[in-house]
Chain A
């Protein structure tokens, strides 16, 4: 790629940062150029972000309806899934799935709650209740 072809497309996903790309300058030397973004990359990143966002949204509504515990929503909100939560908490998947049930979640120990809170980076108090955000639920 030539230096003049390095995309400068102000990708929103770069949040005003620049990324280092290697390209060929006029004298033939390949070196670093800062890029403000590339639409192609932005499309791929946004698709992944939208998928995470929609998982969190769906989970939010299920918690609101009382089908799932707040843990289920916060897992997606913190960009995790069951596999990642199992790896980071050290709990078995099936025991985590059980904690997704509101009636089980109400009774879990503070010790177990504190592990979840730690890996999700929120407080135990916050983990216990569904936060109030403007998600539309059908």
Chain B
């Protein structure tokens, strides 16, 4: 295959970014915010009983692989997902696909990818990238969170694809086998947007949705009785989940604002959607201020003002509620 046939693009988030380039390569042009919105990927989750590196699970988007699965379902695309019982089988299948000229998505650990800077290497198993060609012993990779395409040697890529532990990728490869043309996006926009809004507003248990934001805010107050080192790591952890792991800024709130804006244009510049977009962008700014407040607390030698950090998060939850209520006002008529 002529490697120049594949076009790399820089995205905010790995999973939506991979879907953008894969679908474009197989004939469907959608923006990253569209992919993100149409898979109802926006959420908030706080699961204090699941610990990763001693820290609770805090997430601003849905479970890994949910973008792939929801896009497949909502746009009626057929995807093939393959996992492997052994490294050898996984390596052979990848080579086979590439020799047929098939560009494929892959799930990997971040830690073993040679092109990741050491500062960014953590044991996170749900990273996504596109493998588009092989050149002698190197694989040519389009990693959406990097500005340009990259390379990996075979051994490192295999190690990353077959990393073990939580969310182990098991060598996962995925690619579309059928991509419909002329998709009517309007009904899908309405459906997926309502799903996101309702899930955020109405989830009864406080581990996801707006209630989870308040639950997290309350947990911050409890840090008062913990040692300062732990408290700072805990607060820093929230910021990392919000900013460090490729969210497009403000824990995916900015990318969602972009989805609302693009949707508005598809509905003759609908003003409700335009307003919702502006409101979401402002909520995103509040999340960034929240992160700033935490960074100041981490750097300061003075005792941390947990109450003001917690209060800020409480108010973000209330502001976000207004955006989802606004989104539900939209009927598409």
Residues of A at under 8 Å CB distance from B?
Answer: 1, 6, 12-15, 17-24, 29-32, 34, 38-41, 43-45, 47-49, 51, 78-81, 83-84, 87-90, 119, 121
Contacts and interface: CB of A to CB of B under 8 A. Distances in A.
Contacts, number: 130
B291 A22 contact: no
B80 interface: no
A13 B236 CA distance: 15
Interface stretch (B180-188, B200-208, B237-245, B302-310): B237-245
B103 to A, nearest CB: 21
Interface of B: 10-12, 32-33, 51, 53-54, 111-112, 117-123, 145-147, 159, 163-166, 232-233, 236-237, 239-240, 243-244, 246, 248-250, 254-255, 257-258, 261, 277, 281, 284-285, 288, 291-292, 294-295, 298-299
A39 B254 CA distance: 19
A38 B119 CA distance: 15
B248 A21 contact: yes
B164 A22 contact: no
Nearest to B249: A21
A1 B54 contact: no
Given A22-B248, A44-B291, A48-B233, 9 more contacts: A1-B250, A12-B119, A15-B120, A30-B254, A34-B10, A79-B121, A79-B122, A87-B166, A121-B159
Contacts of A40: 239, 243, 288, 291-292, 294-295
Given A23-B249, A47-B236, A32 B159 contact: no
Nearest to A18: B147
B313 to A, nearest CB: 16
Given A22-B12, A40-B292, A80 B123 contact: yes
